Structure 1
Amino acid sequence: MKTEVITVEPKTPIMDALDIMKKNNIRHLPVTQNGKFSGFVTRGMLRDASPSDATSLS
């Protein structure tokens, strides 16, 4: 049995990556570019990079 590894690309939008993590109940995502591992992101990293609710108000 093979397990498909869930990955994102460097240009994946932050909110899309967070949605992938939430839907799959995971906290870390490998980042691949041209099929090769280039790093990883965590929920914490993505939250830190997201604008806060206070700065997003219009």
Structure 2
Amino acid sequence: MPSHGSLTKAGKVMKASLEAHGFRSIEDLARWRKEHHKKNPTPRIKRRKKYTKLTCKKHL
């Protein structure tokens, strides 16, 4: 049984990049993810609110 996505071009690229990072398969990556990121797999980037005229007034 072939590993996930090994038939498509994108799958080949992904597999190559996985191997470049030292993972044997998607499952390997998934296992690593599980070990390293327990609750927050992708932390969201909190963007600061852009200054509006209203919030700028206190700086004037």
What TM-score, normalized by structure 2, do the two folds share?
0.25
Is the helix fraction higher in 1 or 2? 2
Q: Which has the higher contact order (CA 8 A, sep 6+)?
A: 1
Which structure is higher in strand share?
1
From the CA coordinates, give the structure whose radius of gyration is larger: 2
TM value normalised by structure 1: 0.26
